[in-house]
Structure 1
Amino acid sequence: MPFKPLQINRRQKLVTNIKIYPKDQARQYLIIDVVSIIFLVSLVLSSKSDLPILVKVIILSLFLSAFYFALWYRDWRLHLATLSGLFLITIISIYEGSIMLTFGFMFADLIGRAKAKWHIASAMIAITLMFIVVLWAETGELFKIEEPMIIPIMMIQIVFPLLIYFIEKTKSLKVELAAVNTQLVQQDERQRIARDLHDTIGHTLTMIKIKTELTTKLMDRDPNRAKDELDDILSTTRTALKQVREIVSDMNFISLESELYHCKNLLQTATISFKLNHRCPNTLLASVEETMLALCLREATTNLIKHSQAKNCIVEIDCIDHIYCLKISDDGVGLVNQGLGNGISSMKERMSALQGTASIKNIATGGTIVTFKLSIQHSRKEAQIL
């Protein structure tokens, strides 16, 4: 009794492992192959040729065995099975008539899936020889053809392996292309996550660092304010945790207006004065455009605090000839290192995705100016009704 479940499982696995017909061909060729086999068996067994019935059964059994092997393999076994099948069709056609040559399609289709090109070429030669031998045996002359339809049937069977080969090659290239596209999508997603981690979490951690340094200085001089700063640091840490969750799930919409407010607070915390000149506050931007600009502003502000040693920052927003222009300028040390770090690269990538531009250069009087330009074709926002 305890062995019955094990025996049942083994039987189930045995049934599962039995392969009758390839799944990749079942949708397109199963019905055609079944109908072809039924017609072949019926025509051969019902004919009144000189072949004994036992010989017919043996030939048909060998033919079906060769066809079965050709179904499942694409190496030398497919080649051997194809040549055997064409040889058996030749014998059948000599005794049953040249009309039986039509069943050569069953192997002409399969040989096109062979991995080696010389297998396909030799099978095409074998198909040609099959027609020549049968027609010679039927007419007694090498190039005499009594049935005009035999020529197009022969030509189609010869060309058919090449056609199937190119179809299979196209399918293989599509699979490879899909795999490459998947890798590219995964790479883009990794870059997006890395960029968002750098821009968002890096921005927040910079704020925590600045507030921590300020709190350290205030511990002895102004304990009450230091306590307030510690509360603010705790709140900022919670914000960082929330940002991590947002990045993992997806990139959420970020308002440019709210980002300007946060950047102002961050700069003032770093003792850098902030001035905003917003000359087109009613311009309507798409959500992705506004989010990308907000992230670029965030990155530029973070870089300004980390590297510029500036005392003043001016943000200017203009709209001229359907070009939305965002400029961030400072009076710091300028571009000491001309290399592109993660921040500058990510800003350029974001603007390029919107078919916009991002540039960073030194100011002649000292400092740096970062410029983002974006082409817009949107209408003005409607005035809000109070």
Structure 2
Amino acid sequence: MRIAQLSHLADPALCPRLVIKVGSALLVGKDGQPRRAWLTALVAEIAAARAAGQQVIVVSSGAIALGARKLGLAKGGRGSLADAQASASVGQIALAGLWAELLAGHGITAAQILLTLEDLEDRRRYLNVTATLGRLLAAGAVPVINENDSVATQEIRFGDNDRLAARVGQAAAAQGVLLLSDIDGLYDRDPRQAGAVRIPVVQGVTAEIHAMATGGSSSGLGSGGMTSKLQAAEIAEMAGMALAIIDGQPGSPIATAFNATRGTLFLPRRRHTARKAWLGGRLRMRGTVSVDAGAAAALARGSSLLAAGVIAISGDFARGDAVAVIGPDGQTLARGLAEYDAAEAARLLGHPSSAHEAILGYAPRSALIHRDQMVLL
């Protein structure tokens, strides 16, 4: 039996490992103070889940909002990158202390992990995160994770904790990701419009599903919106995880949503190998490789990407870097690790494999991107 409905995320037999993401607007009030009563109720739910045999990982926003108040910075600490970094430096201490205190009230040890985008994009560092999470969970701790906003720049950051939660779930081999939001799921249009209908279950994030999303966060405190949640759902479904969006505003929000079956559940489509799931969930590509219709059809059949079917190269990538494969219609077909750097790939563009040695002056590799180092989207 697999996860098929919202309440299954609370079943340790179906979801032995769950990631819970908490946004800034839920954790911090408009006065910049933590919402202790609300958080106390949520921690009680986490403790109950653990007592039932479920391992829990928390991805928690709130450091910038908490720090901005202590430093007296305007715009919730998001007026500039320097303000955000300074606020995060101060607020992360308070945030970690808050989680540690409330979890300790249930006899649970909290562990803090701060991550940047590169920690999960680089394969070796990703495996280190995986190992650390596994050891903490085995030891009975609850990892509390946030983006390391004190050092992350615009170019090397997730920018929202929705996608971070999905990537953490992937690294931890979790079965489910639960996004506590200020809305109770995905609607077929802006939920402020009359007649908007909530979508209870989504089987695959399609272009039509993306069209339903609105981009911004309504609270002004967070950095995510429905678009980032759909991107998180895409990462989750590629890793074989279920992901749900529920309204986090009520007291005891998880039980409230599950008992009423109110939220949106994104079902997993397939579970790739760990390496391909990591590759498919990457957020930064170093370049693009555009292919013709023949190459696109060959990829769909499970073939490697040969240079003969490539019509354009862009980006300054090296061998082993992640690149996106773009089809004739401009859509991304796959992601993979390049077997050649950009300059070599450009020289091979459109040429059959039999001509590669003469062009490069050395024995060529079997493909521009090998199928074992590529994931179809």
User: TM class, shorter-chain normalised?
Assistant: under 0.3
Structure number with larger C-alpha Rg: 1
Richer in strand (by share): 2
Q: Which has the higher contact order (CA 8 A, sep 6+)?
A: 2
Richer in helix (by share): 1
TM (normalized to structure 2)? 0.20
TM (normalized to structure 1)? 0.19
